[in-house]
Structure 1
Amino acid sequence: MKLKNINICERMEHYIVAGLSIALIDKGQINMTAGFGVLEAGTTNIVNSNSIFNACSISKFVTSMLVMKLTEQGVFDLDEDVNNRLSSWKVPENEFTQKNKVTLRRLLSHQSGVTDPDGSFAELNFTQGFPVMVDLLEGRTPYCNVPINVMYEPGSDFQYSDAGFCIIQLLIEDSFGKPFYEVMNEHIFEPLNLKNSSFPQTISKARREDFSCGHKNGKIVNVKYPIYPYPAASGLWTTPSDLAILVIEFMRSLRGESEIGLSASMAKEMINPQGCKAWTGLGVFLDGSKHEIEISSLGWGVGFQCMMVAYPYLETGAVIMTNTDLGVHQLKSIIGEVYNSLIFFNI
């Protein structure tokens, strides 16, 4: 795994990107990390391998790894009606749930029938504070002011949904009687020694040395450190190196060598086409086929864009994170140029 024919600093200047960090995976190991630019425009706080970025929706990949481990342990069943285990809130029953129920498999693959209301799931407003997840799902918060319901028959269509992952978060919290981040720390972050990964509710001045500010159009966004108060869906702050370690753990799982206890069969289930869309796995998106299958996860929020991509059977991959929102899809900007310059494998 290596980069070819790209001057990242020059392309950052072209796109007006403040900072970029990358980790490359080859032969199932991190073989390169690099940082470019600064954490905050107008300063000399340079990006390095310990610089922490807002992962936004790549959080869903991390959440999916947790769900698969808990399923492996028998805590969950991917195909069970989630209402059987939810206790503090229930998915409302209606005409769409008569034949097919909302399950973890359908939530992880965005085919549960749950959709996001317009204007919902914005970044944290510090004057309003973190929403209680039950209140959010019942439409009693400004982050989602419409009750979450099943809007089409589960399994019949794909609708990308943050609300679906909020249901997963609540299911985990109801099952363990503790906050989502504690379960994640215990089962994923601590076993893999992911010291730079967290779901912060605030980023205090004492912690800001390694945290990136968000940028757009060359300027810092209004809130320097935008936080999404939906940890399972989009709340993760991390480094490319930590995410690369998790990708490597997934590759190890496929070989039957997991450090967190994820079997090869459970790992393969994550990258099997799910339901009505062949390009949807469990918490990841799919391209290619068989042993050249590509998995990916994208993050895009206020002031940040990032991408995780891997060929798990070939044991190569990359995590690219930036502290700049360029207003276009990742593959149409600097992340796309870096991705296109990667040599994942020799054909």
Structure 2
Amino acid sequence: MAESAGWSLTESDPGVFTGLLHELGVRGLEVEELWGLDAQLLQDLEPVFALVFLFKWVGHGDPEKMDGKLEEPAGPYYFAHQVINNACASIALLNATLNIRDPNVQLGEELSNLQLFSEGLDPETRGWTISNSEKIREVHNSFARSDPFHLEENRPQDEHEDAYHFIAYLPIGDKLYELDGLKPMPVSHGEIPGGREKWTDMAREVLERRIATYPAGEVMFNLLAVTGRRTALQKRLAELEAADQSSGDVQAQLVDVRDKLQGIEERLKDWEVENTLRRHNYIGLVHALLLESAKQDTLKPQIEEAKQKMKQKIEEKRRKGEMMDEDD
């Protein structure tokens, strides 16, 4: 895999993923975080078009023990390789989004052109097409937390540092597929029992098996749902408002749908604020606060506390047998 070439790490955050889609021009989709694999949680987010799974990367593993099999879908599909570092979040999200076929989802000009241009290309070339897209890279990087110093652009990977990876699960045709940009082709998990509408039930079982392969107590997983719930609720609200509202049942449904939509709108506004703060460079504010604290001679306790913490850190490293200089 090539170097990051200007691509920043992306947080596994529903607000970031939703903002990324919206700024690329996608309409009719949001991304929600799932706190578990309960069927009710998934049902509450219907329609769910895809799941994006973040997990600790432990290598490719033994192909003979792989859950599912490498297989190209029978019909039209989109699949791109991850060809540079740090792009796996956007690759997983785009692999999912560009396979969604729903009249309520509009890809927008940027992704529609990408999809059209990519027809007939192999997965690696598609990966390079994404990686060389100035627009996609700019939007991807705009959600990285501000780093005013850029000291770690070419830092070697620490062998003790955990690496994490994003992949997507979604139905293509009548089968459940896993789209992992580091694998040569999509992974088929077979036909979906009960039909395409039941795909999240099958995906839940596949994810549970995958999580079970990790040591007990491992919690470094994150699951996001790519959903059209907001659009579905807006359509349902329009239907209810056009119906005979003398019925108590209709009135109750109106209240429920409006409450759910209000919750979504409030969450979108919160995410917009969080993304604005995420992009802001606070170095000027921090410098001003430190300068004023120094003038008022109130930094000494903090300096002493920092020194004590560093000493404790050094002693802990030494107890573990790891070498550490005083300057580290």
TM-score tier after normalising by the smaller chain length: under 0.3
Structure with a larger share of its residues in strand:
1
Calculate the TM-score normalised by the size of structure 1. Answer: 0.23
Larger Rg: 2
Calculate the TM-score normalised by the size of structure 2. Answer: 0.24
